[in-house]
Chains A and B, each alone.
Chain A
Amino acid sequence: MDAMNWLVLVLIVLLLAALAFVVIRRRGRAGGVFATKPKP
């Protein structure tokens, strides 16, 4: 594989890693609607 192919491969991996990071962070911010625990 020549240097150009290698470079493209590395860039793609970096891009995928960045996308994964963004998706995980954004998912971590997602909120919901929660019911309180019943009181005994």
Chain B
Amino acid sequence: MHASQINGLPVVTVQGGEDVAEVRDVIYSPEAGHLVGLTLNKRGFLAGRRREVLPVAAIHAIGRDAVMVADESSLALPEDAPDDVAHPGADRNVVGDDVLTVGGVSLGTVRDLVLLVGSAGEVVGYEIEKAGGGRGYIPLPAQLAVSGSALVVPDITEEFVRDDLVGLGAAVDDFRARLGLR
């Protein structure tokens, strides 16, 4: 599934069947390759932010229609949560980032993160809008550096841009091998 599908999902307690919050931001670690947590809004069309955050360890499951937690105590106050989740860098939203190779070639722009279904928020790659137009996917270990403006990738990433998720799955292992990360 895609990270952007998680934004706006209700956070529902398994025991209580109650929608206690809504997902605001999805926060991931490019180095670790997985989600670290979510920030929250209150439920309601015009409602504001919620102070509490949701570290990934407290998430029971992420589905198509809801993020499930055991109960409301799964939500953590910012002071009790890891700093990465409590205070995401405001300028580190990767959507729209330019994807640049070390050699200075733009492969496109980041549209989304691709997550492994049924995993605990494992990130497998990025969905990009290719420089020449159309949708592409690049495997995660790609980025050497990432900020709110750009994703810097090794030159060989250009060979690993795939057109679909099936291709991406196959590309991840090959790519890691090529980079000597096995």
Contacts and interface: CB of A to CB of B under 8 A. Distances in A.
Direct contact of A and B (CB under 8 A): yes
Interface of A: 22, 25-26, 28-39
Contacts of B92: 34-37
Given A31-B23, A38-B31, 19 more contacts: A26-B45, A28-B49, A29-B22, A29-B49, A31-B25, A32-B25, A33-B4, A33-B112, A34-B26, A34-B27, A34-B88, A34-B89, A34-B93, A35-B30, A35-B89, A35-B94, A36-B29, A36-B92, A38-B145
B93 A32 contact: yes
Nearest to B48: A28
Interface in B35-49: 36, 39, 41, 45-49
B81 to A, nearest CB: 13
Contacts of B95: 32-33
Interface in B85-109: 88-89, 92-95
Contact of B46 (A25, A31, A34): A25
